Amino acid sequence: MKDAAGGDELLRRLRRFHSDYFPRHQQRFQDLVAEGQHPKTLFIGCSDSRLVPYLLTDAAPGELFIVRNVGAFVPPYDGSHGLHGTTAAIEFAVLSLQVETIVVCGHSHCGAIRAAYEGVADEAVALKAWLELAREALLPVRESPEALRRTEQRAVVLQLERLMAYPMVRRRVEQGVLSLHGWHYVIEDGEVHVFDAEQGDFIAASVASNSGTGPYLNYVEHDGQVICD
Ligand SMILES: [Zn+2]
């Protein structure tokens, strides 16, 4: 990454982190090394550069265990879609870190959801297979901004459903020590919409009563269609 003067922009930023940011937060980092990490939240987010988990949640180092991928998808636990790093991260976060919350965060204008409708280059073999993880969320309608928005939200709920098929996740949800939150981040509004299982809809955080409703219920669309059993 070159800066305007043709210099090494990334190297300049690395040096700035070390000289400016680190000295002001040195104690926190050293405590995190001495005591180990104890994040309470597993954040599964889309890789999109506009989605910045630490900004959205005002989190500090050590607070979020993050796994990101194209679309914020959760592969099935049974391995029927192959072995995936995301699955390994979920197992580790739940079994070893014993996180209390899992957030699945999709967002507006998601390229993964658009690509799930439009297809990808033949050369992108892994990406094509990966996008299958959104297939059940796709709508049998013509692509439109509204359809894409609804699909982005349906995809989040679909991933929550897949999470519930992870035995260690289901067990801890049923024990009441783990809750699953589905979020849809609207980039242009600077607002996260939180999935409310009882209302079967995403509620803007500014008016929502909580950051996620915890144990899942079936997701009912406005037209009464239940997409996940
Ligand atoms: Zn995305």
Q: What is the mean pLDDT of residues 174-192?
A: 95
User: pLDDT per residue over 74-84, tens digit each?
Assistant: 999 999 998 99
Q: Measured in angstroms, how far is the CA atom of residue 67 from the centroid of ligand 1?
A: 13
73 CA → ligand 1 middle, Å: 10
Distance 186 CA to ligand 1 centre (A): 11
| Identity at 106, one-letter amino acid code | G
Determine the distance separating the centroid of ligand 1 and the alpha carbon of 146, expressed in angstroms. 16
Provide the pLDDT for residue 86. 97
**Residue 195 bridge partners (DSSP):** 202
Q: Smallest Cα–Cα separation from 161: which of 190, 187, 137?
A: 137
Determine the distance separating the centroid of ligand 1 and the alpha carbon of 111, expressed in angstroms: 5
DSSP string of 81-113, one letter each residue:
T---HHHHHHHHHHHTS--SEEEEEEETT-HHH
Instruction: Answer yes or no: is pLDDT of 67 > 90.
Output: yes
For the ranges 51-55, 126-130, 172-176, 197-201, which has the lowest average pLDDT?
A: 197-201
Task: Give the Å distance between the CA of 163 and the centre of ligand 1.
Answer: 19
Distance 113 CA to ligand 1 centre (A): 7
Ligand 1 center to residue 70 CA distance, Å?
6
How many A from CA of 176 to the centre of ligand 1? 30
Helix, strand, coil share (%) of the chain residues, nearest 5: 40, 20, 40
- Does position 209 have pLDDT exceeding 90, yes or no? no
Whole-number Å distance, alpha carbon 6 to ligand 1 midpoint, is: 30
The reported pLDDT for the residue numbered 210 is 87
Residue 30 host element (H or E): helix 22-35
Residue 216: the pLDDT is 54
| 103-119 pLDDT tens trace | 999 999 999 999 999 99
The answer to whether 155 and 185 have CB atoms below 8 angstroms apart is no
